[in-house]
Structure 1
Amino acid sequence: MHVTGTVPPPAPDQRETPAAPDSAPAPGDGRHARRFGLPVATALVMGNIIGGGIFLLPASVAPFGTISLLAFGVLTVGAVALALVFGRLAARDPRTGGPYVYAREAFGDFAGFLAAWAYWITTWVSNAALAVAAVGYLDVLIPVNDHRWTACLAALVIQWLPALANFAGTRYVGAVQLVSTVLKFAPLLLVAVGGLFFFDADNLGPFNASGGSGIGAVSAAAAILLFSYLGVESAAVSAGEVKDPRRTVGRATVIGTAGAALVYLLGTLSVFGTVAHDRLVDSTAPFSDAVNAMFGGAWGGWAVALAALVSMTGCLNGWTLLSAQTPYAAAKDGLFPAAFARRRRGVPTTGVAVTVVLASLLTVYNYTSGPAKVFEVLVLVTTFTATVPYLLATAAQLFHLVSGQGERVDRSRLVRDGVIAAVAAGFSLWLVAGAGYAAVYQGVLFLFAGVLVYAVMAARRRRAEGPAAP
C-alpha cells in the first residue's frame, strides 16, 4: 500500500518553529491539530503501558513468589518518577517529539538524533512483538496457529488495522485509543477487583520461592517486569496533538502511569490469591485460570483472549502513532529524511507507513526464521533502546535544574525535582541492567547504525547551508 506518494510535501511556512513551542498549530494541520484532551491523553498513556503483557505477568513472576509484588512496587516508584520528569519537561517545551525535543534542546543535534533513533527502533520492534503475541490469543478464538503462514498473515492484519486508523487522522486514533482502553479494562477490573472477593491466602505460596537472597529475587523479578512499564512517555511524545500541553501532558502522564500500575498490582495480587501457586507457575493463561477458579466453567479462556486482542489492538494503535511522531519532529529539524515531516490530518503518514512496513518485515522474518529466541532477543532490545531516550530526557531535566535556565530559583522545588530526576535516572539504568547482556549488545549495534545515518544527514545539512563564512 503506497501512501507517501499521495501526500504533498509541506510548504516552508508549515513548520512549527522551535522558538515558540506553545504557538498555534501549523497551518497545514488545520482543524485536525491538538485533538487530544486529558481523557484521551491519559488513555494513550495507559493503553500503551498496558498491552498484552498484563495477561502473562502473573505466571511469569510466580516462580519468584509473592516477593515479586515488592518488585512491582519498586518499579512503580521509578515509573512514576519518570512520568513526573516527562511532565515537567513537557511543561517547559510542549512540542511533538518528547525525549527527542528535550535532548536536542539541552545537548544539541547529536543527542537529539540518538534519542529519536533509539525511540523509533523501540516502537516498531515493539509493534512486531505485540502483533506476534496477539496471534496466540487469536488462536484461542479462531485456529490460526495450525499453519505458519496463516499465523503470519493474521499478525500482519493485526498490525495494519491500527495503521489504517492512523492514516485516517488523529481524530480516529484518539477514538480507537479511548474505546479500546475502556473495553479492555472491563475484564481486567473483573479479575483485579472481583478476584479479591475470592482471595485465598493458601494459594499464595512461599514469599521467596526462588530460594536465593531477597535482593536477588526482587532484581530477577524486576527484570521480567521492566518491559511492562515502557510507554510512560506517550503523552509527551504526542504533545503537539494535545490540548493545553503544558498542563495536560504532565497530568495525563502521571494519572496514566499510576492507573496502569494499580491495574498491574491488583491484577497480579488477585491471580496470586485465586490460582494455586504450583499451578500458576506452569500456567499459560493465568487470567483465564483465575476467572475459571472464580466462577467455574471454561469460558474464561475465551473472555481473556478477546480482552487481550482488544488490549493489543489499542496498544498497537497508540504505538503506531508514537512511532511516527518522533521521526516527524526530527525530520523537521533536518535530522531524519524530509519525507518523515509530511503530515495528513495531523498524522505523519510517511512515518506510519515506514514503521508498519518495517514491523511487518520483522514479523515475516520471525515466522520464517523458526527459532523463537531470535525474536525474544529483539524484544529485549526494545527495553535497552528505550532507556536511551529515557536517560537523555532525565539528563536534560538535571541540566535545566542545575543550570537554572528559564526558571526562577525555588530551592524547595529544585530539591524535589532533583530527587525525582535522580530516581528516574536510577530506574532507567535498572532498565539497562534488566535487559541483559545479549540485548544490550544488539541494541548498541542498532545505535551505531544510527550514527552512520546521522553522519549522512549532517553532511546533507552542511552542504545545503553552503560554505561557512570565513
Structure 2
Amino acid sequence: MATTPPAPPGEGSPHARRFGLPTATALVMGNIIGGGIFMLPASVAPYGTVSLVAFGVLTVGAVALALVFGRLAERNPRTGGPYVYARDAFGDFAGFLGAWSYWITTWVSNAALAVAAVGYLDVLLPVQGSTWQTVFAALVIIWLPALANLAGTRYVGAVQVVATVLKFVPLLLVAVGGLFFFDADNLGPFEASGDGALGSVTAAAAILLFSYLGVESAAMSAGEVRDPRRNVGRASVLGTVGAAAVYLLGTVSVFGLVAHDKLVGSTAPFSDAVNAMFGGSWGGTAIACAALVSMVGALNGWTLLSAQAPYAAAKDGLFPKVFERRRRGVPTVGVLVGAVLASLLTVANFSGGASGAFNSLVLITTFTATVPYLLSTAAQLYFLFSGSGARVRSGRLVRDAVLALAAFGFSLWLVAGAGYAAVYQGVLFLFAGVLVYVWLAARRERARDGREAEPGQEPGSADGGQAVLAPSTTRSAPTVEPASSEAR
C-alpha cells in the first residue's frame, strides 16, 4: 500500500517554502499568460467567433489538468511536479523522460519569449538597428530574470507578483473596459473559414493550445510552496481560471472593438483596440510596455521552472549531480545552464537568419510540454485504479478518475494540435535524451557495485560473504529504534 512521501530534506530550509497561495497563483498565471495574448485575437479571427468555443473547451481541459496536479501534489508534495509523479508511478525511465522533455520546453520557450520581447522593445527603443544590438537586447531580457532567480525564491516571488499586477492593468483595461465600447457590428461571421464549425474549432484550438502551457507551474515548484498539499491545487486552479478569464474577455472585447476585416490582418490587435476605445495612436506604445512586462514576468517564472525539473531529477540520480546545487532555495546551476542554452538558441536565431526553423522549434515545445502532462495524468490513473492512492477516499474515486481521464484526453489533444512535423521533431529531441539516461544509469550501477563489494574482496566469495554478513548483522539492531520512534 502506497504511503505519502514526506517533503525531502532541504526543501524546508529558511530560504525555501516562501511561496504562499497568492504568489503561487501569480506564478501559474504569469507563466500561462506570456506574450501570446497580445496576438491571440488576430490569430483566431480568421476562424470567426466560433474560436470562442475552442477557448471554452480548452479551458475545461486545462482546469481538469490543474485539478489532477493538485491531487498528485497532495500525495507527493515535492519539487519537480510531473517528473516526481511519473517516477513514483512508473519508475526511473519514465521519470527521466518527463524531466528531460520538460527541461527542453522551458529553455526553448525562454528563447522564444526573448525574441518576441525584442520586437516590442523596438517600439520603445530602436534596438533593431543592427544584428548585434538586437542580440544584446535579447540577452539582457534573458539574463535579468535569471539574476532575479539567483537572488533567491523570495525575489522570484516578488518579481512575479509585481509583473503579474503590472501586466494585468492594461490587459484588464481592454478585457473589461472594452466591453463598454463593444460594437456587435464589428463581429465577423460565426464560422469564417469554410471548414465547418467542428473543423474551425479544431483549427483554432491548435493555435490556442500553446497559450495554456504553464498550468503545472505550482506543482513544479511544490517544494517552495507553503502547505503544498493544499496550496498547489488551489493555485493551479485559480491561476488557470484567472488566465482563461483574461484570455476570453480580452478576445471578446477585441472582437467587438476592431472590425473583423481589419482584425484578420492586424499585427497589434490590442493596440488597435485601445485606439478604438480612446482614439489617437498611443495604444501601440502602451501595449508594447504591457507586452514587455508580461514577457519578463513569464521569463522570470519559466527560468525557475527550467531549474526545478533537472534539480528534482538530479536528487534521484537521473540528471547530473551538479544540477542539485541550491542557493537560497533556487537550483543555481539549473538557472545558469537554462539561461546559457536559451542565450545560444537566441543568438543562433538572430545571427543565422533561420526564423522559420526557430519557429518550428517553438512549436516543438507544445509537444515536449505535453509528454509530462500525459505521464502525470497516467500516473494519477495508475494510483487510482491500482489502489496505490491510499489517501483517496472512496467517495472521491469516481470524480478523480473522470478528471484524470479528461486531463489525459486534453493532453492528447495538445499533442495532436502540435502538428505532425512538430511531433516528429519533438520525438527526436525526446529520445536524444536516452543516451544521457544510459550514461547516468551505467554510472549508478557501477557505484552500486562498488559499494556492495568490500575493498580487496571478490563479491560472492566465502570471505566476502562473511565480511558483508557481520556488519549487516551489527547494523540491523539500531535500525529498529528509528522505525519505532517514527511510528510513535
TM-score range, shorter chain: over 0.9
Match of 1:120 among 89, 103, 107: 103
Equivalent position amino acid for 2:118 in 1 = V
- Secondary structure at 1:22's aligned position in 2? coil
* C-alpha separation in 2, matches of 1:371 and 1:49: 27
Give how far 1:368 is off.
1.6
* C-alpha separation in 1, matches of 2:252 and 2:302: 28
Cα deviations by residue, 1:68-93 (Å, 9 ceiling, x for unpaired): 00000000000000000000000110
Give how far 1:23 is off.
4.2
Match of 1:74 in 2: 57
* C-alpha separation in 2, matches of 1:430 and 1:293: 36
Asked if structure 2 preserves the Cα contact closer than 8 Å seen for 1:25 and 1:34, the reply is no
Give how far 1:145 is off.
1.9
Give how far 1:153 is off.
1.1
Match of 1:26 in 2: 10
Cα deviations by residue, 1:135-163 (Å, 9 ceiling, x for unpaired): 11101111112322211111110000000
Flag the 1:221–1:99 CA change in 2: closer, same or farther, 3 A: same
Flag the 1:250–1:406 CA change in 2: closer, same or farther, 3 A: same
Q: Please show how residues 183-262 of structure 1 align to structure 2 within 5 Å.
A: 183-262=166-245
- Secondary structure at 1:429's aligned position in 2? helix
- Secondary structure at 1:365's aligned position in 2? helix
* C-alpha separation in 2, matches of 1:22 and 1:185: 37
* C-alpha separation in 2, matches of 1:42 and 1:145: 35
* C-alpha separation in 1, matches of 2:82 and 2:358: 26
Structure 2 gaps of 5+ residues are 453-458, 461-488
Q: TM-score normalised to the size of structure 1?
A: 0.94
Equivalent position amino acid for 1:216 in 2 = G
* C-alpha separation in 2, matches of 1:83 and 1:124: 22
* C-alpha separation in 2, matches of 1:186 and 1:194: 11
Flag the 1:156–1:423 CA change in 2: closer, same or farther, 3 A: same
Asked if structure 1 preserves the Cα contact closer than 8 Å seen for 2:25 and 2:236, the reply is yes
* C-alpha separation in 1, matches of 2:9 and 2:279: 54
Match of 1:416 in 2: 399
Match of 1:276 among 253, 259, 273: 259
Asked if structure 1 preserves the Cα contact closer than 8 Å seen for 2:8 and 2:78, the reply is no
Give how far 1:276 is off.
0.3
1:407 and 2:390 aligned? yes
Cα deviations by residue, 1:211-245 (Å, 9 ceiling, x for unpaired): 11111100000000000000000000000000000
1:148 and 2:131 aligned? yes
Asked if structure 1 preserves the Cα contact closer than 8 Å seen for 2:145 and 2:296, the reply is yes
* C-alpha separation in 1, matches of 2:294 and 2:6: 33
Q: Please show how residues 59-458 of structure 1 align to structure 2 within 5 Å.
A: 59-407=42-390, 410-458=393-441
Give how far 1:24 is off.
7.2
Give how far 1:424 is off.
0.5
Cα deviations by residue, 1:154-206 (Å, 9 ceiling, x for unpaired): 11100000000001000100000010001100000000000000000110111
Flag the 1:24–1:102 CA change in 2: closer, same or farther, 3 A: closer
Equivalent position amino acid for 1:219 in 2 = T
Q: TM-score normalised to the size of structure 2?
A: 0.91
Equivalent position amino acid for 2:180 in 1 = F
Asked if structure 2 preserves the Cα contact closer than 8 Å seen for 1:116 and 1:330, the reply is yes
Give how far 1:30 is off.
3.4
Match of 1:4 in 2: none
* C-alpha separation in 1, matches of 2:122 and 2:170: 19
Give how far 1:99 is off.
0.3
* C-alpha separation in 2, matches of 1:365 and 1:407: 50
Flag the 1:128–1:335 CA change in 2: closer, same or farther, 3 A: same
Asked if structure 2 preserves the Cα contact closer than 8 Å seen for 1:25 and 1:33, the reply is no
Match of 1:38 among 5, 17, 21: 21
Task: State the number of aligned residues.
Answer: 452
Structure 1 gaps of 5+ residues are 1-17
CA RMSD in angstroms comes to: 1.5
- Structure of greater Rg: 2
Asked if structure 2 preserves the Cα contact closer than 8 Å seen for 1:61 and 1:224, the reply is yes
Equivalent position amino acid for 2:348 in 1 = Y
Q: Please show how residues 5-24 of structure 1 align to structure 2 within 5 Å.
A: 21-23=5-7
* C-alpha separation in 2, matches of 1:25 and 1:181: 31
Match of 1:56 among 31, 39, 52: 39
Give how far 1:406 is off.
3.8
* C-alpha separation in 1, matches of 2:9 and 2:446: 30
